[in-house]
Structure 1
Amino acid sequence: MSRIIWKGAITFGLVNIPVVLRPASRSQTLDLDLLDVRDMAPVGYQRINKSTGKPVDKEHIVKGYQYAKDEYVVLNDEDFRQANVEATQTVDIVSFVDVESIPPYYFDTPYYLEPDKRGERGYALLHETMRRTGRAALALVVLRARQHLAAMLVHGDALVLNTMRFADEVLPISELRLPKSAKGKATGAHAREVEMATKLVEDMSEDWEPEQYRDTYRDDLMARIEARIESGKTHQLTQPAAEEEAPRQSAKVIDMVALLRKSLDHRGKGGKAEEEPARGKSRAKAEAEEAEEETESEGRARRKAPARHAAAKKQASTKRATAPAKRASTATKHAPAKRASHAPAARKSASTARRKQAA
């Protein structure tokens, strides 16, 4: 079980529910040490006095607030505790809101709320009331010397406290350049695209099973580390691989309907893909990339087709142009022969006429 990091009470109105706070998440990042590559000795983090340049022991370090240049007020843990004892020991519910009305980018870190001694009845009452009303409780709580806005949510039989960002910590969406949803716009979604995308979403829908998703990057990095240990090359630095410069791609007009259709065609029976994509790549992303490649191939084929048709058309016109010339040359070739064949007959007729006249 995770450790208790805070003890206090939930308060709303005159209700006071003793609770303890436990972490609801844990970091899976690799714990890496800094080393001196010459002798593999660990390199520590030193706290340096900026005036003398010398290291400072931890017991000599305090927190201070600078109220003027180089002038500080020293504060310790007791100052933070006494600043507002009530605030540091309560989850003070200030209002209840519809769960769906909270934008997801406001959420930060989740914690589990567990009833403390004599807090079971109040805990159960609050949990059941929030479950029936479908509301989330907005509260203020001080954790680690900082006040947080927090949302208390119902999940199963538990209450979850999720710290949130304050409004001034969230950048406004209005500063983004976003596509308009109006129909007919070049950047908007068309009805046919939405229809096919909806079919794809329904085909890929499944029950929420977070256990099937893993940090594949961490797994792959650990596999490299274990392979280095097995090979005995623990102190050998990996040389950078030669990277080929990717060719610059021109702007492409993506046929979304074709991509969606191919994505649907590539889905196997039962909503599963026919072939599993590479590990660490989502199924939808792999299908979209494959569909895009096929669409590009078809586009190249269509661009080549007009050229082939033009060449065929040119060849046909050349044949038609040479045909009359051939016929003309043939006629010219036989014409003299024909005239030559009739010439002796004409001369014979003329001589016969002259003899008749003389007689």
Structure 2
Amino acid sequence: MATGSRTLWKGAITFGLVHIPVGLHTASTEQGVDFDWLDKRSMDPVGYKRINKRTGKEIDKDDIVKGVEYEDGKYVVISPDEIEAIYPRTTQTIEIQRFIDANEIPFLYLERPYYVAPINKGQKVYALLREVLSKTGKVGLAKVVIATKQHLAALVPSGEVLVLNLLRWGDEVKPLTGLDLPAAGVKGAKVTAAEMKMAEQLVKDMSGKWNPDEFKDEFRHAVMKVVEKKVKAGDTETVIQPEEEAPAEGAEIIDLTELLTRSLKGGKAAKPAGAPAKKTAGPGKTATAKKSGATAKKATRKKAPGGARKAA
């Protein structure tokens, strides 16, 4: 599979005692026009200053603490050590919690897709999971940590590839309270038979096959035409960006038949072949986890308005 993107991290899919070494790849791109702020005198990127909103004065980063608002205008300050202690542990695993019917997850919960590809001779067990999910109509409901943030995710077969689609947590989806909605059902909504018949005919006339290539971001394409015209005219500037770190290595697979048999018997999780990285400074973190977590964080970090980078 050619994704045209680098590996965010290398780890494993786990369920029962089965351990599938995989690499995680970005499956989507942000295509909106990104206008960065640049200093016209030097073409250096321009970011936001740390400004005290009450005094309007710039402050030093050492004077900044992190607080959580629990009531209007009232905060609890959380120290760096307290934050470090409760950060989700970067395990480099996509840990399947259960298998559910594919049609059980509403579109409302889907957030961001990633391609998952096998590594370290994991093709056979990867294919087994992909095919059994396709045959049973199930998806794997999993937990995964990316860039120090824990996510709920669905592992979904899509042709040749398994897609890890990050999901919104249940409390991140707002309830319908306060929405002025018509009653459910044709009778409840007071829709007549004639209106329903005409609406069905219109839907039929406008129906077609799913083809994403037929739909474009017209504004972005118009802006990029202007950009291409300026490039051809030589009206360009150069802005140097820092280099990215290399991803860390993942684990290896152990015997598939043995793991499946032991999993069906309710055995405890086995330690995968290939010793994990030795621990370095910082509780609960390994050198591999820290390096891979930082790499994933860079890959998934979004730009703030005006081209400034949001601080972690």
**Shorter-normalised TM-score: what interval?**
0.5 to 0.7
2:220 counterpart residue number: 218
Q: Work out which of the two has the higher radius of gyration on C-alpha atoms and give 1 or 2.
A: 1
Structure 1 window deviating more from structure 2 (62-71 vs 155-164): it is 62-71
1:74 counterpart residue number: 80
CA distance in 1, matches of 2:144, 2:30: 23
1:148 counterpart residue number: 151
2:133 counterpart residue number: 130
2:196 counterpart residue number: 194
Aligned: 1:84 with 2:89: yes
CA distance in 2, matches of 1:61, 1:22: 37
1:26 to 25, 29, 33: 29
Q: Is the 8 A contact 1:65 1:75 kept in 2?
A: no
2:165 to 162, 165, 187: 162
How far residue 188 of structure 1 moved from its aligned partner, in angstroms, is 3.3
* Sequence identity percentage: 36
1:284 counterpart residue number: none
Q: Is the 8 A contact 1:33 1:43 kept in 2?
A: yes
> Secondary structure at the residue paired with 1:173?
coil
What TM-score, normalized to structure 2?
Answer: 0.61
Q: For 1:171-205, what per-residue CA distance to the aligned partner results, in whole angstroms no more than 9, with x for missing partners?
A: 113542211244455x4322222222222222222
Q: Alpha carbons of 1:89 and 1:42: their partners in 2 closer, same or farther (altered >3 Å)?
A: closer
CA distance in 2, matches of 1:48, 1:18: 42
1:103 counterpart residue number: 106
Aligned: 1:176 with 2:179: yes
How far residue 124 of structure 1 moved from its aligned partner, in angstroms, is 0.5
Q: Which runs of 5+ in 2 are unaligned?
A: 237-312
Which structure has more relative contact order (CA 8 Å, sep 6+)? It is 2
Matched ranges for 1:279-358 at <5 A = none
CA distance in 2, matches of 1:61, 1:177: 46
How far residue 215 of structure 1 moved from its aligned partner, in angstroms, is 0.3
CA distance in 1, matches of 2:42, 2:58: 24
What TM-score, normalized to structure 1?
Answer: 0.53
> Secondary structure at the residue paired with 1:163?
strand
Q: Alpha carbons of 1:227 and 1:106: their partners in 2 closer, same or farther (altered >3 Å)?
A: same
CA distance in 2, matches of 1:25, 1:63: 34
CA distance in 1, matches of 2:143, 2:57: 41
1:89 maps to a residue whose letter is Q
Q: Is the 8 A contact 1:62 1:75 kept in 2?
A: no
Q: Which runs of 5+ in 1 are unaligned?
A: 235-359
How far residue 83 of structure 1 moved from its aligned partner, in angstroms, is 5.4
Structure 1 window deviating more from structure 2 (156-165 vs 214-223): it is 214-223
How far residue 221 of structure 1 moved from its aligned partner, in angstroms, is 3.5
Q: Alpha carbons of 1:90 and 1:203: their partners in 2 closer, same or farther (altered >3 Å)?
A: same
1:285 counterpart residue number: none
